[in-house]
Amino acid sequence: MLKLSINGKTHEVDADADTPLLWVLRDELGYTGTKYGCGMALCGACTVLLNGQPTRSCSLPVSAVGKGKVTTIEGISGAPARAVQAAWQKLDVVQCGYCQSGQIVAATALLAQKPKPTNADIDAAMSGNVCRCATYHRIRAAIHEASAIMAGKASDKLEA
């Protein structure tokens, strides 16, 4: 039995040590917001925060998580996360949506570190997150919008 801290809760799981965190989250614990896209750390669909750092859960064996704190799309909170989600909604970034959990988690981590990123910062931080619907144009704009929200220039409330 492994003990995992996910979204502030402790979960006990019975999984082989080599099982990627992604599949423990999705198949064992029901956190299906985190997506499978490539399984090889190439697309970012599976991005979660591990101690605040964006991490590809498809390539992280569950045994390596240890006491690390895992945050998934279902659990992100705090000012950057709220700002990112509000900006995503305001600009209607999503298309199919399948990559967007990963995009949002990655953008949240970026803004937590750099509240005022440049386009170059954004391109660098988000280059590991593929969007086949190519919503990149709006992702860039929404990260700038989120930055403005964090600076108090707009509301971070989600519409119903």
Kindly list the residues in this chain that would bind other proteins in the complex (CB under 8 A): 15-16, 19-20, 23, 26-28, 30-40, 42-43, 45, 72-74, 85, 88-89, 92-101, 104, 122-124, 126-127, 129-140, 158-160
Q: Which of 13, 29, 94, 154 binds ligand FES (CB under 6 A)?
A: 94
Choose from ligand FES, other proteins, none: what does 56 bind? Cβ within 5-8 Å by kind.
ligand FES
CB of 78 to ligand FES, least distance (A): 23
Decide whether 34 or 150 has the Cβ nearer to ligand FES: 34
For residue 145, CA distances in Å to 6, 44, 61, 111, 156 come to: 28, 22, 35, 11, 10
Taking each helix axis from N to C terminus, what angle separates 119-126 and 100-113, rounded to the nearest 10 degrees? 130
46: contact with ligand FES by CB under 6 A: yes
For residue 39, CA distances in Å to 9, 23, 24, 112, 134 come to: 25, 10, 13, 26, 20
96: contact with ligand FES by CB under 6 A: yes
* Distance in angstroms (rounded) separating the CA atoms of residues 134 and 75: 26
Decide whether 84 or 112 has the Cβ nearer to other proteins: 84
CB of 81 to ligand FES, least distance (A): 19
100: contact with ligand FES by CB under 6 A: yes
* Distance in angstroms (rounded) separating the CA atoms of residues 4 and 31: 13
- Cα angle 38, 41, 42 (rounded to 5 degrees) comes to 65
* Distance in angstroms (rounded) separating the CA atoms of residues 18 and 40: 14
Decide whether 4 or 99 has the Cβ nearer to ligand FES: 99
Tokens of 51: 């101690």
Footprint of ligand FES (CB under 6 A): 36-39, 41-46, 56, 58, 94-100, 131-133, 135
